[in-house]
A = this chain, B = another copy of it.
Amino acid sequence: MGLDDRKLAVLRAIVEDYVSTQEPVGSKALVERHQLGVSPATVRNDMAVLEEEGYIRQPHTSAGRVPTDRGYRLFVDRLSRVKPLSPAERRAIERFLVGAVDLDDVVHRTVRLLAQLTRQVAVVQYPSLARSSVRHLELVPISTTRLMLVMIADTGRVEQRLVELPGPVPADDVTDLRRLVNEKLAGARLSDTPPLVQALVEDAPPTLRPAMTTLSTVLLETLVERHEERIALAGTANLTRGGLLDFQGSLRPILEALEEEVVLLKLIGETEPSTTRVLIGDENEFDNLRAASVVSTGYGPGATIVGGLGVLGPTRMDYPGNIAMVRAVARYVGELLAQN
């Protein structure tokens, strides 16, 4: 039951028209707007087949056709041509990202840029701690029994934790602690630290032993085990474009999902392959996001990937355009990170 070339062309035309007009597309309008070289009747026959195969469907009997999730999937996999960015878009990306003063700034600019370019909701994951290395650990005394532990990662992330020491620790000991942890951990990938931290406790001189033990607990528990991921979001107002047609009338489930970091991480953070990932409609695992699609990819300095970014919008979205933009932005951000 193969689909010949013309049927595929019809499907592509339906997707493109529906995405741009937001209205079910009929056979007549189709032959008018595209050079298919056949009559509406023929197109109707093709449509009937496409519908039988589950690529398109009719909202009601007397309406045109609309792509199904499966139809979009086929379109994305086999029918979409890469859409090169316009010079204006390239310029926008460069202009937007120069002059960022720190990691927060980079992430915020990136997420806003992405939202503006794609006119969708944009999501950017901060460089993952698990994929970062320790650049420096700083211990700042707050009181005699309290330290602030500050970790600076090579990706630019800075994390801090309050450490409640079991007893008073003099300033000199803090200096020693600082030296010891840095000697052992500086340069290590965060995911490799557990054994190192273990050794740190065992090798510590007796006087520093208790302090080092609590310190290592904080290190492991808060920074490694529940590896802290952070997320930035922008462009939620774009969800209201297209009236209430997308998302079957209520933004509620979408907005709820967007508030859950765990959900967003699952959507854009799973960056196993370095390629761009497209999740269409109910291909994602969250009921709240059945009516949404996600385009995401990993980014990082050079070839390594330290985090993910992407956009979320209605299944009726401009996939080729969004894929191109997500990729381009990821590449620029990677270059930016490589400079530091």
Contact = CB atoms under 8 A, between A and B. Distances in A.
Given A138-B138, A140-B135, A148-B152, A237 B255 contact: yes
Given A102-B160, A142-B135, A255 B234 contact: no
A158 interface: yes
Q: Could you say which of A138, A161, A250 has the most chain B C-beta atoms within 10 Å of its C-beta?
A: A138
Given A152-B160, A158-B158, A259 B236 contact: yes
Given A101-B161, A158-B160, A239-B255, A152 B135 contact: no
Contacts of A237: 251-252, 255-256, 259
A240 B236 contact: no
A222 B140 contact: no
A162 B239 CA distance: 36
16 contacts: A101-B161, A101-B162, A103-B160, A135-B140, A136-B148, A138-B138, A138-B150, A148-B158, A150-B152, A156-B160, A237-B252, A237-B259, A240-B251, A240-B255, A244-B244, A251-B251
Given A148-B152, A152-B140, A162 B255 contact: no
Interface string A234-248: 111101100010000
A251 B244 CA distance: 11
A240 B252 contact: yes
Q: Could you say which of A152, A160, A235, A252 has the most chain B C-beta atoms within 10 Å of its C-beta?
A: A160
A255 to B, nearest CB: 4
Contacts of A161: 101-102
A340 interface: yes
A222 B102 CA distance: 10
Interface in A6-35: none
Contacts of A258: 236
Contacts of A102: 160-162
A240 B135 CA distance: 45
A103 B159 CA distance: 11
Q: State the 6 A-B residue pairs at the shortest beta-carbon distance, nearest first.
A: A237-B255, A240-B252, A237-B256, A136-B140, A158-B160, A138-B138
Interface string A74-94: 000000000000000000000
Contacts of A252: 237, 240
Interface string A258-301: 11000000000000000000000000000000000000000000
A84 to B, nearest CB: 29
Interface string A98-113: 0001110000000000
A81 to B, nearest CB: 32
Contacts of A138: 138, 140, 150
A289 to B, nearest CB: 13
Nearest to A235: B259
Interface string A133-146: 00110101010000
Interface string A155-178: 010101110000000000000000
